[in-house]
Amino acid sequence: MKFEINKVATYKGHKDSVYQLAEGITEGRFLSAAGDGYLVEWASPEVGVPVARVNHPIYAFEHRKEQQRIWLGENSEGLHLIDTERKKVEASLKLGKVSVFSIVSAGNKTLAGNSLGYIHVIDNEQNAFIRHLEVSAKSVRAIAVNESAGELAAGCSDHCIRIYDLDTLELKKTIEAHTNSVFTLAYHDRYLVSAGRDAHIHIHDSALAYLPVASVPAHNYAINHILPLKGTSLLASCSMDKSIKIWDIETLQLLKVIDKGKFASHGTSVNRLWWNENTRRLYSGSDDRTVSEWTLF
């Protein structure tokens, strides 16, 4: 595959590390959240509009676009439900002095993983907790859902990935593929892709009891996020080593490296990626407080 990597734009305005990116409230825009406590919607590099402001860093949020709602995790203050039309807090759920690292919606539930090793299950109609699932003695850093298979994967700081039944939340399997914290998970068709502090990417076949399919030492330092690029056969990863890498998602063959030297990429840890399938552009958020926009082809 021929690549034409180009940096389209840099979005500046956050006063701390950017931790999360997602589709915007308005078509053609995107959302970013950072350690400065701001959730911002970007119309252009020059125009960023705050959607919410909290007093502590935001490590995770989940945008339920059709419901015009965002579940936002505020470090040490729990969860807030934001009405995106009115830009108003609709509900708040206290969790004590914990950090929320991952929030994912599945059907009528929202799942939030925290630094004490729990997944908190929220009823999206009542906007209330219905269960607190103890997953690990250490942090739950990543959650991924395969709704078609009815399964939930949780990546933890005890180096394990745990697979649960999505409806009953019964533990089905524990995967011990990594040698350090699992920071990021993603389902792609029948495969579960995982990565983390050990800088390796693993692919597991969910249709064959999560047997290992492929594994590569992918980065020099911890991998913060992996993202299958919808509409392509590609996987993107980003790391504390300041690089973004593009892989063949089935073979884990490295296809391209986006770094500061060749492409004027980020000069510090790259924390998060977002892929706009419609425009086929990749976005990256970093400890350097900026978001970069990229064309790949």
Produce one character per residue of 89-103: b if its CB has 16 or more CB atoms within 10 Å, e if not: eeeebebeebbbbbb
> What are 90's two structure tokens?
């609709």
* Number of residues written out for the chain: 297
pLDDT computed for residue 12 by the predictor: 98
- For the beta carbon of residue 26, count every other beta carbon within 10 angstroms: 12
Q: Which of 102, 9, 79 is nearest to 291 (CA)?
A: 9
Q: How far apart are CA 57 and CA 19, in angstroms?
A: 9
Q: What is the pLDDT of residues 216-225, one digit of tens each?
A: 999 999 999 9
Tokens of 213: 């399919």
Beta-carbon contacts of residue 29 (< 8 Å; ≥ 6 apart): 41, 42, 43
pLDDT for position 87: 87
- From first to last of the 297 residues of the chain, give the pLDDT tens digit: 889 999 999 999 999 999 999 999 999 999 999 999 999 999 999 999 999 999 999 999 999 999 999 999 999 999 999 999 998 999 999 999 999 999 999 999 999 999 999 999 999 999 999 999 999 999 999 999 999 999 999 999 999 999 999 999 999 999 999 999 999 999 999 999 999 999 999 999 999 999 999 999 999 999 999 999 999 999 999 999 999 999 999 899 999 999 999 999 999 999 999 999 999 999 999 999 999 999 999
- Token pair of 250, please? 């089935």
| DSSP designation for 272 | E
Q: Beta-strand (E) ranges in 115-207?
A: 118-123, 128-134, 140-146, 151-156, 161-165, 171-175, 182-188, 191-196, 200-205
C-alpha–C-alpha distance, residues 297 and 294, integer Å: 9
Task: Read off φ and ψ for residue 261, nearest 5 degrees.
Answer: -65, -45
Bridge-partner residues for 255, per DSSP? none
Q: What is the pLDDT of residue 1?
A: 83
